[in-house]
Chain A
Amino acid sequence: EPEVTQTPSHQVTQMGQEVILRCVPISNHLYFYWYRQILGQKVEFLVSFYNNEISEKSEIFDDQFSVERPDGSNFTLKIRSTKLEDSAMYFCASSEIAANYGYTFGSGTRLTVV
């Protein structure tokens, strides 16, 4: 079964450093998403991406965040200057059709900011 692949599985970074979280969506999917889950809290939407541009973003997705599809297979989330409160599990997801049929999620990257 096709999978969404996320790397790394765990990343530790110092406060103020830039991090890039990487995702390889399912190859024929057109819509891409980032969600995050702070420990013990609900899964929260960050951003959706289609046709090489952001289609929707949440209040969480401020100027410190950016997304990019640098080539035909990768989808990245960059946090420019990490804060302690950015520590969370970050999930990438992709879907063939926007939202309607449910996403396929990756297994997540646990980001720890120290």
Chain B
Amino acid sequence: AQSVTQLDSQVPVFEEAPVELRCNYSSSVSVYLFWYVQYPNQGLQLLLKYLSGSTLVKGINGFEAEFNKSQTSFHLRKPSVHISDTAEYFCAVSEVGRQLTFGSGTQLTVLP
């Protein structure tokens, strides 16, 4: 069965600082990996996805993530955050043809 662990429930960071949100997954087969963002009182927006190919994936809003198969990780990074990046970030995994399984989320708070 597939599962996702987001290691940090809360990440406070100052504006213009870099940030990394950690995600580890578990699956016995090949998976697809996703990061979604949820702004307050809004739905889930796809930030980026890894399906195959290059392990470094670039998404919207300057975010990127790196797939590391040996460490079963898919950490999300941004070199310089803005106040507007304050949101809940969810890592998700799906085995081929299966539904998405989400992690518990990381609340990123960008401080002025």
Contacts and interface: CB of A to CB of B under 8 A. Distances in A.
Question: Real complex partners, A and B?
Answer: yes
B100 A99 contact: yes
Interface string A24-66: 0000000001010000011111001000000010100000000
Contacts of B92: 43
Interface residues of B, number: 23
B103 to A, nearest CB: 7
A91 interface: yes
Contacts of A99: 32, 94, 96-100
Contacts, number: 56
Contacts of A75: none
A43 B90 CA distance: 9
B43 A107 contact: yes
Contacts of A98: 97
Nearest to B43: A107
Contacts of A43: 44, 90, 92, 102, 105
A105 B101 contact: no
7 contacts: A35-B100, A93-B44, A99-B32, A99-B96, A99-B97, A100-B51, A102-B34
Interface of B: 32, 34, 36, 42-46, 49, 51, 90, 92, 94, 96-105
